[in-house]
Amino acid sequence: MEKNAVLVLADGTVVEGTGFGAECEASGEVVFNTSMTGYQEALTDPSYKYQILLMTYPLVGNYGISDKAFESYKIQSEGFIIRELNYNARDSAQKNNLDGFLSEYGIPGIAGLDTRFLTRKIRLHGVLNGILKYPFEAGELSDLRERACKLKNISELDLVDMVSVDQIIKHDAVGDKTVVLIDCGVKRSIINLLVGRGVNVIQVPAKTGVEEIMDMQPDGILVSNGPGDPKRPSYLIESISNLLDEGLPMFGICLGLQLIALALGAETYKLKFGHRGSNHPVKDLNTGRAHITSQNHGFAVDEKSMPDSLQVSHISLNDNSVEGIVHQELPVSAVQYHPEGHPGPWYNYYLFDEFVESLK
């Protein structure tokens, strides 16, 4: 097929391939995900804002697009990189394939690349900014290289503010307990799992003030997942710090863990190439049990910087980084991975049961 699309990395690497999806340009941090399925859930995960997503599994698009697999209202990734595209598969209800899905939301894709080469480059040298352009002309390459080098670092952007809701949304359940969910870029599965356990969820914008949150009389607080450098939205760190003084049960997921740790005085750092996929092994230090988890983060908490009030509850069995924390005195805990899965294993749902139980 015609090589009419190109990926240009900030280090000067140029890889040509076949374009699909929308005919346009995308820019951002190029990252890889090791999941074998779940491309729709990954594409619609707000944590991929300002990132061009690369799937390491070579066959993508082979089961179409489903109404049930949206994790937000649109595609959040800036662009999509795959080895081989299936143009024929369509979900029976959605009646759309991956090519049409990207076109619908104005997102460009590139196929026919050696994704193993790109994955190895990222693993060896770390994540790189890049530009994906479809279609392109050979005479544009010099300009694309120059612009790729000048792209903003992900830490310069407040991505949380870009993906958080702009108004309060209530998700009513049959129970009598209410959780305020601070939306940093939440996945719908998290809300669904709480509502399914009889918990009323009040989803609030990331910049909602502490006084307004407490006026809602919550039984607990959940700090959601989201994109970017956790140090960038300083307003969230301040809000969480003040909410901790209220003594309510608090649970953090992914970015939520990092924000809670920062609010308690710990430090975070950027991982070389991040953890993204649905097959990451994590050890529960309390039980000694290993769990296979779904993950999507490019930053982590520095264990050595953690105050005495925090204890590490889970670690990554790949690199020993912090995967869970628990407060020694307050009803506060958080995990770096995604217990809601989607894509990924579902047996980590027990963490939602424990959080709901803490509300009582």
Is the pLDDT at 121 greater than 90? The verdict is yes
Q: Please tell me the predicted confidence (pLDDT) of residue 345.
A: 87
Tokens linked to 101: 């899905």
One of 297, 314, 340, 342 is an active-site residue; which one? 340
Range of the domain at 226: 159-358
C-alpha closest to that of 316 among 288, 282, 358, 343: 282
One of 275, 291, 297, 338 is an active-site residue; which one? 338
What domain count does the chain have? 2
Compute the distance between CA of residue 46 and CA of residue 32 in angstroms, rounded to an integer: 15
118-123 mean pLDDT: 97
Q: Give catalytic status of residue 24 as yes or no.
A: no
Percent of the chain topping pLDDT 70: 99
Instruction: Show which of 152, 170, 189 is a domain's final residue.
Output: 152
Are residues 113 and 211 both part of a single domain?
A: no
pLDDT class of 39 with cuts at 50, 70, 90: very high
204-234 pLDDT, tens digit per residue, is: 999 999 999 999 999 999 999 999 999 999 9
Instruction: Show which of 152, 182, 210 is a domain's final residue.
Output: 152
Largest interatomic CA distance in the chain: 64
Question: Angle formed by the axes of helices 188-195 and 350-358, to 10°?
Answer: 60
Are residues 248 and 127 both part of a single domain?
A: no
298-320 mean pLDDT: 98
**DSSP labels for 291-343?**
EEEEEEEEEEE-GGG--TTEEEEEEETTT--EEEEEESSSSEEEESSBTT-SS
Q: Please tell me the predicted confidence (pLDDT) of residue 246.
A: 96
Q: Please tell me the predicted confidence (pLDDT) of residue 160.
A: 98
In whole angstroms, how far apart are CA 280 and each of 20, 74, 145? 30, 26, 34
Q: Output the average pLDDT for the chain.
A: 96
Q: Give catalytic status of residue 338 as yes or no.
A: yes
C-alpha closest to that of 187 among 267, 266, 24, 71: 71
One of 16, 71, 184, 254 is an active-site residue; which one? 254
Assign residue 190 the CATH number of its domain.
Answer: 3.40.50.880
Is the pLDDT at 344 greater than 90? The verdict is no
- In sequence order, which residues have a C-beta less than 8 Å from that of residue 288 and are 6 or more positions away? none
Tokens linked to 247: 């003594």
Q: Please tell me the predicted confidence (pLDDT) of residue 347.
A: 86
Assign residue 102 the CATH number of its domain.
Answer: 3.50.30.20
